[in-house]
Amino acid sequence: MDNMKRILQGILWIIIYLLLTLAPLFVLLIGPSPEGRDFWREFSVALGFTGLAMMGLQFVLTARFKSLKAPYGSDVVYFFHRQISVVTFFLILAHPITLFITTPSLLSLLNPFDAPWRARFGLISILSLIGLVGFSVYRKQLKIIYEKWRIWHGLFAITAMVGALFHILGVNHYVAIPWKKAFWIAYTAFWVGLILWTRIIKPWLEMRNSYRIVEVTPERGNAATLTIQPDHHKGIRFHPGQFAWITVGANPFMDREHPFSIASSAEKPEKLSFTIKNLGDFTNTIPNLKPGEKVYLDGPYGSFSIDMHQHAKGFVFLAGGIGITPFMSTLRTMRDRNDPRPVWLFYANNEWKDVTFREEVDAIQSQINLDLIHVIRFPEDGYKGETGFITKQVLLNHLPEDIAGLEFFICGPIPMMKASEAILSDMKITPGDIHTEVFYLA
Amino acid sequence: MRQKLAVGLVILISILIVGMSAFFAYYQAYLR
């Protein structure tokens, strides 16, 4: 996909986002609608309606629609989901607060024992929203594991949406006309349906296309490679650098799935491999998995791939630790395709003994046009390569003078990615030629 | 870089949404 097409697609989605947020509000004004009240009251109501529409749209952002994620990259879609959720939270909170400030007598509606149902539903919705945002922002401090959080996240989201809908229907001011009522019920039902699609229908489809573990191999750097193959179906085609969501052991409804980069060659889709570092959470169960166990897979996703840049003259990869996995898939694919384009791989690790795929990357050097540059933070005696971090000087030491037409890919821990992005923009690389994949989505 | 763009986008969308909500309220309160 070339850059122009991606930009246009990106802009189109933004327009659709705005339409889906604001159009339902203005639909309320079509046909007979109630008399206007004072500005602040109407403003507060408008914030409530748009807030609900924005909440609904949050479900789309995490429903893993490939065409939506293609122009931006999945990590940015999740980032946007988190950022816009804060805005949504405050807009919705501003709805009752504005009302209470302008009409303090309404404060009595906060007492759930005396309040009418319409106010109780409003309160349920707001409390769910506070729970939703609180659990997400403080998940780590509250020591809630990712899988449990994800279930709560879905439940809070549905309660907040349904509570808000009943609140609107109970107030019955703008939706007094039957078709408007039906419109808002359908609008909310659509979003709730979406979350059911993501969490129930899709996992069910995955269950019918399961995979089996072929082998689990330990790797350098406290990692393990999980190799799987399709269980009596065709499997998936993917681009090198893409990732998939994996559920191991349990069934795909259990919400134990995690995103991992595919590490194997896109030219050999009959067997997929994922190399996973033990980070002390779910990932520490990987080495204990046994051949024959079932695995469920949802993918491929992501636009972190050389295939999205067919016209590139060459590639520069900046890998940090286990961030090597999408590049491993890319190097293996380039080898299998006999791709002649030059590649510079800057591979940063803390220690030489922990360099995952050290031997294989070294071997690939003789099979494709690869310039491999290790950067070791704590080198042993006798190590002769680059040391410390990937710096501008390290890049300049190895890249050719003419870097026009090269595409830059970065994958690794977040601080490494931020530093690398800063270095590349300092080197006047066009932002459109820099591609990143945040490795730890969860 | 893309994250900076996303933050910009969030700010832009927020301004548009609050602005349009205010327009809705203004229309309801004064223009009809």
pLDDT band at A394 (very low <50, low <70, confident <90, very high): very high
Q: What is the ipTM of this complex?
A: 0.95
Distance from CA of A39 to the nearest CA of B (A): 5
Residues of A in contact with B28 (CB under 8 A): 29, 36-37, 42
Residue A16: give the domain boundaries. 3-206
Q: Do A79 and B28 touch (CB under 8 A)?
A: no
Whether residue A287 is found in the same domain as residue A315 = no
**B1-32 residue pLDDT tens:** 667 788 888 999 999 999 999 999 999 999 87
Q: Do A47 and B18 touch (CB under 8 A)?
A: yes
Probe site for chain B from A3, A21, A43, A318 (most B CB atoms < 10 A): A43
- Of A344, A280, A312, the closest CA to residue A430 belongs to A312
- The model's pTM is 0.72
Whether residue A268 is found in the same domain as residue A316 = no
Whether residue A348 is found in the same domain as residue A236 = no
Whether residue A137 is found in the same domain as residue A281 = no
Share the mean pLDDT of chain A.
90
Count chain A–chain B contacts defined by CB atoms under 8 A: 86
* A166, amino acid identity: F
Cβ of A209: how many Cβ atoms within 10 Å? 16
The residue from A255, A286, A301 where one domain ends is A301
**A204-263 residue pLDDT tens:** 887 888 999 999 999 999 999 999 999 988 899 999 999 998 887 666 565 556 788 999
Whether residue A315 is found in the same domain as residue A414 = yes
CA max distance for chain A? 83
Whether residue A201 is found in the same domain as residue A219 = no
Cβ-nearest to B6 among A40, A80, A425: A80
Query: Is residue A25 predicted with pLDDT exceeding 80?
Result: yes
Q: Do B7 and A83 touch (CB under 8 A)?
A: yes
What CATH number is associated with residue A267? 2.40.30.10
Whether residue A75 is found in the same domain as residue A101 = yes
Strand A223-230 to A211-219 pairing: antiparallel
Cβ-nearest to A36 among B18, B22, B29: B29
Q: Do A46 and B24 touch (CB under 8 A)?
A: yes
Whether residue A88 is found in the same domain as residue A191 = yes
Whether residue A162 is found in the same domain as residue A240 = no
Q: Do A72 and B2 touch (CB under 8 A)?
A: yes
Helix (H/G/I), strand (E/B), else coil: A410: strand
Rounded distance, CA A90 to CA A296, Å? 37
Rounded distance, CA A289 to CA A236, Å? 22
Nearest 5°: the CA angle A229, A233, A235 is 55
Whether residue A157 is found in the same domain as residue A216 = no
Is the bond into A252 cis (omega within 30 degrees of 0)? Answer: no
Whether residue A314 is found in the same domain as residue A396 = yes
The residue from A301, A332, A354 where one domain ends is A301
| Count of the separate structural domains present in chain A | 3
Tokens found for residue B1: 């870089």
Whether residue A179 is found in the same domain as residue A321 = no
The residue from A156, A178, A206 where one domain ends is A206
What CATH number is associated with residue A177? 1.20.120
Q: Do A87 and B25 touch (CB under 8 A)?
A: no
